[in-house]
Structure 1
Amino acid sequence: MEKPIERTYEIMEVCLLAGKIMLQSGGETYRVEDTMMRMAAAFGIERTHSYVTPTGIIFSAEGTEPTKTKLIRISERSTDLKKVSMVNSISRRITGGDVTLEEAMEHLQEIDSLDVTFPFRVQVAAASLASGCFMIMFEGGWNDFIPAMISGGMGYLSFVYFHRFVPIKFFSEFLASFVIGLFSFLFVKMGVGQQLDKIIIGSVMTLVPGLLLTNAIRDLMAGHLVSGLSKGAEAFLTAFAIGAGIAVVLSFL
């Protein structure tokens, strides 16, 4: 009796680790649940139940007495779709019978500890270039391309550093948008920039929670109302923080 119970716990640990990585990396709720249940079925546990929210995962496995249930807490979330893709690849290999339970745990632990993000200077450069391109996309003039690049880059740089010192996401976004508004205003005041609104719009696009809003809509459409509404509320608060930071600059300057 001990060995089947121990194996059930090991299978649940593998499934929960996969779900944790996906959820922390920006995966949709329904994708996390489906991946966990498919992996468990591939390892011999057909009857499983999962309940996933942005802050936690509850996973239950039937077939053994008593029914086993585990809970893990999700405290940090980011956007890292490469890790989501890597976990999906492991899941497909498990479903195809190409990976054992021990190998799956080893691969997932490697993915969990892996840092696949770009270097910080590359992120700032990409944010700067994206800000300038977004400004052009919103019908801004080429004279404002450089000011938008600098404002967007400084805003993203401020967001990262503020979040390191004060790990409150909405406060960091508020301060970052404030920096963007301040730089944009100064550029226009000095005559370097021409259209203040276009510079601000292009610069704040790197802070806009696009993936979060998309996942909220997809979760709602898939019937995951709790996750969809919570992600939608988070996206709304993020948008409010960004707008408030810009509004403070425009109100006092």
Structure 2
Amino acid sequence: MTNNQNKNEIIKVCLLAGKIMIQSGAETHRVEDTMMRIASSFGSRDSQSYVTPTGILFSIEGTEATNFVRISERSTDLHKVTVVNSISRQITSGELTLIEANRLLKEVDAKTHTYSIFIQVLAASIVSGCFTIMFQGQWTDFIPALIVGGIGFASMVYFHRIVEIQFFAEFLASLIIGSLALLFIHLDIGQELDKIIIGSVMPLVPGLLITNAVRDLMAGHLVSGLSKGAEAFLTAFAIGAGIAVAFSFI
């Protein structure tokens, strides 16, 4: 392998690792640190990386051309982040070659979510019921919250596939949650409307996004921190707006 080919392979591995991590919900500083550690392990100790939620800039040397990767889709899959971190540690310890690391990262990138949609909806249902009880709801509200939360999360996944804008998916899902919660109360199946709604919307709340925004701001990544904070605010606003519209029907 020539020197130029070696540099190109290093760039490919670093960019692929960064792309997987940022798409899976990793913090910006973690992504930059991982990319630079991988490059350093393969002999490029002057690498520079600049990561935002929508793109990655990377160069292995100051005189080399800067490479760019566009990030168009983001989700939450912390298992992928853990796997990439594990591969990075293996590279740092000298256990993997460039070719092996590239192959493993491509396998990780090709995998879909660890859990199926059915399992995710089931988990969201159980979480909704448990949050209702945690917020001092009645046990008679557990089943309504379980049903409403599951339907709300499933509708969010469905609408997000139809409309790529996350705001509308969150808005429509919360509108369905508010309407169903009102229906259960009207049918005397539940007792406390607020507890049912609070528990049901919790799977939609951007908790990881808020956490990453704060951590990026604390680490000095102001652009990423503010952009993630704005995204979290819009998501929270969509949830609140959907519930408010549902209440306007009363």
Separation (CA, whole Å) in 2 of partners of 1:211 and 1:111: 21
Which residues in structure 2 correspond to 1:4-43 (within 5 Å)? Answer: 4-43=3-42
| 1:194 paired residue among 191, 195, 203 | 191
Partner of 2:85: 88
Q: Tell whether the 8 Å contact from 2:79 to 2:114 is kept in structure 1 after alignment.
A: no
Partner of 1:245: 242
- CA deviations over 1:31-63 (Å, ceiling 9, x no partner): 000000000000000001100000000001117
| Counterpart check, 1:98 vs 2:95 | yes
Aligned residues: 250
Kindly report structure 1 stretches of 4+ aligned residues shifted beyond 2 Å. none
Partner of 2:53: 54
- CA deviations over 1:194-248 (Å, ceiling 9, x no partner): 1000000000000000000000000000000000000000000000000000000
Q: TM-score, length-normalised on structure 2? A: 0.98
Judging changes above 3 Å, is the alpha-carbon distance between structure 1 residues 248 and 116 closer, same or farther for their aligned structure 2 residues? Answer: closer
RMSD after superposition: 1.0
Three-state SS of the structure 2 residue aligned to 1:179 is helix
Separation (CA, whole Å) in 2 of partners of 1:86 and 1:68: 29
Q: TM-score, length-normalised on structure 1? A: 0.97
| Counterpart check, 1:139 vs 2:149 | no
Deviation of the 1:164 alpha carbon: 1.2
Partner of 1:173: 170
Deviation of the 1:115 alpha carbon: 2.1
- CA deviations over 1:156-207 (Å, ceiling 9, x no partner): 1110111111121110000000000000000001111110000000000000
| 1:224 paired residue among 221, 228, 236 | 221
Unaligned runs of 5+ in 2: none
